[in-house]
Amino acid sequence: MLKIYNTLSRKLEEFRPIKKGKVGMYTCGPTVYDYDHLGHAWCYFNSDVLRRVLEYQGNEVKQVLNITDVGHLTSDGDTGEDKLEKAAKAGGKTAREIADYFTEIYFINRKKMNFLEPAVICRATDYIPEMIELVQTLIDKSYGYEISDGIYFDTSKFPHYGLLSGNTLDKLKEGARVEINPEKKNHTDFALWKFSPAGDSRQMEWEAFGRQGFPGWHIECSAMSMKHLGKTFDIHTGGEDNIFPHHECEIAQSESASGVKFVNYWFHTRFLMVEGEKMSKSKKNFYRLQDLEEKGFLAMDLRYLFLMAHYRSQLNFTWAGIEGAKIARAKLMNFVAGIKETGKVNKGFKNKFLELLNDDLAMPQVMALVWEVIKSDLSDKDKKATLLDFDRVLGLDLAKAEEEEIPEEIKAIAEKRWLAKSAKDFAQADELRQEIEDAGYIMEDGKEGYKLRKI
């Protein structure tokens, strides 16, 4: 039986889905106003592993991922500018263009990291009517009240406020994170809906509650998750920075509207550190996947590095660490590529594998087990079968081991050369062939295609 850590109860719990064999899982997605960095990748990686483990154990997982393209303000206390509108102004683009650009990059990176495609991907701006309806329900049930800059949630009416984060009403002092708004009934009250400031027109605004406005940051996740997964669903994932205020507020507004429990298991990934330090703008250590690629690492090297850490421990990203991961992954890929036949999955190793997964996703130990399989006295073909079976969770694409040795840029040049040759542009074809050879690869032409290999 799978055990995972539930932030809500603060303990390890056996995972039991509401409907046997079916799991509803909501993953808090990115706010698409900037490039996603390694911290994001680490968080989505852990959601991906959790989903893969559940699927490996025979569950059908419906994963819903949102894209926040409106309403996330620069301050957690419902003040400041909308992150999208701010980025749009700074970049001389529309908020829609900014959102579309960073959403595209986010999905390219997901693909490179081999994250499984969510069943539903929802953009906040496509669910405005659902959000308005939810806010209206909260007003009707007198949880929502109106002040001059928007509609707020009255946290004093929700007794469980603080259960997830430990931030109870008494404990939470008005301070840096929650800015003072004298009109709010309680300092912890948060915006369900904001009115567009008078005299300042926004690019994204909607007519509701008698004037122009836009959603508060938290309401989208409640509206979209309940629409696709029902009022109560199994798992909600996110980074530890989402616990408060985002997830605490999601629970308050969802449960107040529905009258039932919102989510059974809250799964949070701890922060990623860079060279032992917190990521920060001043340290310029918000590394992106592209920064790694420029230094010769692939997304799958990062995936390997992530696999060696546990979701509840702070992962310390270092350049030495990613170098080690790259070497280890190459060894693993070469080992699998060197075995032509596939045999049978070894039961003993599979049981050990399951035991480790069930133990709160003990991935570092799982990676040690991978090397135990390689060093074991199993036949090569059984080793390969066992590793390919594990790979359904690891997601390292071991089955593609042979192709993997050829870098993407070489494949792209080869493709270009093949087209040039087909078009009888032999001068360009020769030039490109030379380029490939200079990079240490050789292209062997056949009648209907070509093969690439290392020299």
For residue 101, the minimal CB distance to Zn ion (Å) is 21
Does 64 sit near Zn ion (CB under 5 A)? no
The smaller minimum CB distance to Zn ion, of residues 241 and 397, is found at 241
Query: Measured between alpha carbons, how far is 455 from 452 in angstroms, rounded to an integer?
Result: 9
The smaller minimum CB distance to Zn ion, of residues 219 and 357, is found at 219
For residue 276, the minimal CB distance to Zn ion (Å) is 29
* Distances from the Cα of 310 to the Cα of 107, 271, 392, angstroms: 24, 11, 18
For residue 28, the minimal CB distance to Zn ion (Å) is 3
- Give the containing element (helix H, strand E) for 376: none
Would you call 294 exposed, middle or buried from its count of C-beta atoms within 10 A (0-12, 13-18, 19+)?
Answer: exposed
Residue 320 tokens read as: 């030495």
The smaller minimum CB distance to Zn ion, of residues 41 and 251, is found at 251
Query: Measured between alpha carbons, how far is 51 from 121 in angstroms, rounded to an integer?
Result: 15
Query: Measured between alpha carbons, how far is 156 from 408 in angstroms, rounded to an integer?
Result: 56
Spell out, one character per residue from 375 to 404, where the chain touches Zn ion: x when CB under 5 A holds, - when not.
------------------------------
Query: Measured between alpha carbons, how far is 29 from 27 in angstroms, rounded to an integer?
Result: 6
Spell out, one character per residue from 255 to 284, where the chain touches Zn ion: x when CB under 5 A holds, - when not.
------------------------------
Among 208, 25, 254, residue whose Cα is nearest residue 118:
25
Touching Zn ion, residues 6-35 (CB under 5 A) = 28
The smaller minimum CB distance to Zn ion, of residues 225 and 386, is found at 225
Query: Measured between alpha carbons, how far is 211 from 135 in angstroms, rounded to an integer?
Result: 14
The smaller minimum CB distance to Zn ion, of residues 223 and 332, is found at 223
The smaller minimum CB distance to Zn ion, of residues 237 and 346, is found at 237
For residue 249, the minimal CB distance to Zn ion (Å) is 9
- Order across the sheet with 263-269: list the strands: 120-123, 60-67, 22-27, 233-239, 263-269
Task: Kindly state the DSSP code that residue 372 receives in the 8-state scheme.
Answer: H
For residue 11, the minimal CB distance to Zn ion (Å) is 23
Helix 299-307 to helix 319-337 angle, to the nearest 10 degrees?
100
Block residue for tokens 């799978």: 2
Chain center to CA of 265: 17
The smaller minimum CB distance to Zn ion, of residues 107 and 418, is found at 107
Size of the site for Zn ion (CB under 5 A): 2
The smaller minimum CB distance to Zn ion, of residues 265 and 353, is found at 265
For residue 298, the minimal CB distance to Zn ion (Å) is 29
The smaller minimum CB distance to Zn ion, of residues 71 and 395, is found at 71
The smaller minimum CB distance to Zn ion, of residues 264 and 346, is found at 264
For residue 334, the minimal CB distance to Zn ion (Å) is 41
The answer to whether residues 341 and 381 touch, using CB atoms and an 8 Å cutoff, is yes
The answer to whether residues 264 and 235 touch, using CB atoms and an 8 Å cutoff, is yes
**CA-based max dimension of the chain:** 77
Residue 80 backbone dihedrals phi, psi, to 5 degrees: 90, -175
For residue 242, the minimal CB distance to Zn ion (Å) is 6
For residue 45, the minimal CB distance to Zn ion (Å) is 18
Query: Measured between alpha carbons, how far is 38 from 319 in angstroms, rounded to an integer?
Result: 13
* Distances from the Cα of 223 to the Cα of 126, 216, 243, 282, angstroms: 11, 12, 18, 36
Touching Zn ion, residues 176-235 (CB under 5 A) = 221
Query: Measured between alpha carbons, how far is 215 from 264 in angstroms, rounded to an integer?
Result: 26
The smaller minimum CB distance to Zn ion, of residues 221 and 398, is found at 221
Query: Measured between alpha carbons, how far is 360 from 342 in angstroms, rounded to an integer?
Result: 30
* Distances from the Cα of 213 to the Cα of 131, 190, 192, 194, angstroms: 12, 15, 11, 5
For residue 132, the minimal CB distance to Zn ion (Å) is 18
Size of the chain in residues: 455
Query: Measured between alpha carbons, how far is 329 from 408 in angstroms, rounded to an integer?
Result: 17
The smaller minimum CB distance to Zn ion, of residues 72 and 303, is found at 72
For residue 255, the minimal CB distance to Zn ion (Å) is 15
For residue 390, the minimal CB distance to Zn ion (Å) is 31
* Residues in touch with Zn ion (CB under 5 A): 28, 221
